[in-house]
Amino acid sequence: MTDLNKVGPSCTWKDLTEGMMIYEGGTSRQFKTGEWASIKPEYIESKCIHCLLCTPVCPDSAIPVKDMKRCAFDYDHCKGCGICVKACRFGAIVMEGVNK
């Protein structure tokens, strides 16, 4: 069993897991893919009725929900695809370059 705590940007080849396998769940949270995006959607809270149509269409999990209310974007993981902009029927999400 490989100790995943040894795996990091400065570890040696001997510290890697066999075949680069990951023996833990939910580790993609630690990988901040949000930096891939050049533009991001913007959440206009005043227009949001919390219908939650946007949350399930997000290809990542960048629209968190708490107590049946959507929360602010998780920009650490939002890649700026703009699909949520298309899903929102109330103009509560806007993004440069994405037309409704």
Partner 1 sequence: MARRDRLSGNEAVAEALRQIDPDVMPAFPITPSTEIPQYFSKFCANGQVHTEFIPVESEHSAMSAAIGAESAGARTVSATSSAGMAYMWEELYLASANRLPLVLALVNRALSGPININCDHSDSMGARDAGWIQIYAETNQEAYDNMVMAYRIAEAEGVHLPVMVCQDGFITSHAVQNILLMEDKEVKEFVGEYNPEHSLLDPNGVMSVGPYSITNYYMEARRAQAEALHNAKAVVKAVGEEFGRLTGRSYGWFEEYCMEDAEYAIVLIGSAAGTAKDAVDKLRAEGKKVGLIKIRMFRPFPGAEIAEALKNVKAVGLMDRTESFNDCAGPIGAEVSSALFRARHMCETINYVYGLGGRDVRVEDIEKVFEDLFDAAENGTADYYRYLGVRE
The residues binding partner 1 (CB under 8 A) are 1, 9, 11-14, 16, 18-25, 27
What lies within 8 Å, CB to CB, of 27 at 6+ separation is none
Give the shortest CB-23-to-partner 1 separation in angstroms: 6
Q: Which is nearer to partner 1, 7 or 65 (CB)?
A: 7
Q: Which is nearer to partner 1, 1 or 72 (CB)?
A: 1
What one-character-per-residue DSSP string does 49-61 give? ----SHHHH-SSS
On whether the CB atoms of residues 54 and 70 are closer than 8 A, the answer is: yes
Give the shortest CB-15-to-partner 1 separation in angstroms: 8
